[in-house]
Amino acid sequence: MTITKLAAGNWKMNGTSKHLSEAKTLAAMHPASSVEVLLCPPATLLASMARIVLGSAVQLGGQDCHAKAKGAHTGDIAAEMLFDAGAGYVILGHSERRADHGETSADVAAKVEAAWDSGLVAIVCLGETEAQRDADETLAVIGAQLAQSLPAGANAENTVIAYEPVWAIGTGRTPSEAQIAEVHAFLREHAPDAGVRLLYGGSVNPDNAASIFAIANVDGALVGGASLKAADFTRIISALESSSPG
């Protein structure tokens, strides 16, 4: 089975119009690619970024959506709005949303359905806390999150899974290669479809990307801090391209 690898950048709550130049640089550096390249900026930048990356390999995604299609939900954003602004993907269940907004896996599953209904591919994030890893609960936690966050109907076309250990996000710490390999093998075995892409996320940077992409069942990365600068993100994309023949 051929899996098209994916380098996804999550800008989180960073970026105003002056940062569009980074997307412009990234698009210029990647008119085409053997992997998929994705930027998920704040929703406020999506429409203008869509004009900038048009015709390049760079695709766009949102960072969250509401489970409902529309209505009285002040401050929230519907999946259709993201699609309308130029997104093809949406990150759901990021640990920062699970922690900051109390999102449960059931909430995430409802959002995934909403994303699919609007034609978005859902990038569903899973990951253990440091206490859970120390207690040897990692695979149990990941298994439960996987089972509860993915609705029936998840497949390689509509869903990407991102393994993001909570303790590795934004900390500069990464799991050992064996730890990543163990979780990704588990995800490959339990994913709803053999072709579902499995991303690793958590302190990926230009220096560690190649060794992470060499791990079995790692089909790309979800990258936070190192996706903010085109010069850094492009080195991660190049490492993924090198790991991905054709």
Residues paired with 226 in a beta bridge: none
Q: Which stretch binds ligand PEP (CB under 6 A): 60-68, 133-141, 200-208, 231-239?
A: 200-208
According to CB under 6 A, which residues from 10 to 69 bind ligand PEP? 10, 12
Q: Is 94 a catalytic residue?
A: yes
Q: Which of 94, 96, 103, 241 is catalytic?
A: 94
Tell me which residue has its CB nearest to ligand PEP: 224
Smallest distance, ligand PEP to C-beta of residue 72, A: 30
Residue 101 interacting with ligand PEP (CB under 6 A): no
Owner of token pair 């080195």: 235
Closer to ligand PEP at the Cβ: 151 or 225? 225
Query: For residues 110 and 204, which CB has a smaller minimum distance to ligand PEP in the complex?
Result: 204
Note whether 89 and 123 are within 8 A (CB). Answer: yes
By CB under 6 A, the count of residues binding ligand PEP is 14
Considering only 29, 223, 236, 240, the residue that binds ligand PEP (CB under 6 A) is 223
Residues of this chain, 106-165, that bind ligand PEP according to CB under 6 A? 164
Decide if residue 204 touches ligand PEP (CB under 6 A).
yes
Residue from 203, 238, 243, 244 in contact with ligand PEP (CB under 6 A): 203
Q: Which of 225, 233, 237, 240 binds ligand PEP (CB under 6 A)?
A: 225
Q: Does 217 bind ligand PEP (CB under 6 A)?
A: no
CB of 111 to ligand PEP, least distance (A): 16
Q: Say if residues 178 and 215 touch (Cβ distance below 8 Å).
A: no
Cβ burial 195-209 (10 Å sphere, 16+ → b, else e): ebbbbbbbbbbbebb
Q: Where are the alpha helices (DSSP H) in the chain?
A: 20-29, 43-53, 79-85, 95-100, 105-117, 130-134, 138-149, 177-190, 209-213, 230-243
Q: Of these, 31, 153, 170, 195, which contacts ligand PEP (CB under 6 A)?
A: 170
Q: How many residues does the chain have?
A: 246
For residue 9, state whether it binds ligand PEP (rule: CB under 6 A): no
Is 201 one of the binding residues for ligand PEP (CB under 6 A)? yes
**Residue 202 binds ligand PEP (CB under 6 A):** yes
What single string gives the DSSP state of each residue in 85-153? HT-SEEEES-HHHHHHS---HHHHHHHHHHHHHTTPEEEEEE---HHHHHTT-HHHHHHHHHHHHS-TT
Three-state secondary-structure class, residue 231 = helix
164 as an active site residue: the answer is yes
Report d(CA 112, CA 154) in Å as an integer: 9
Q: Looking at this protein, which amino acid is placed at residue 65?
A: C
Amino acid (one-letter) located at 93: G
Q: Which residues bind ligand PEP (CB under 6 A)?
A: 10, 12, 164, 169-170, 201-204, 222-226
Active site amino acids: 94, 164
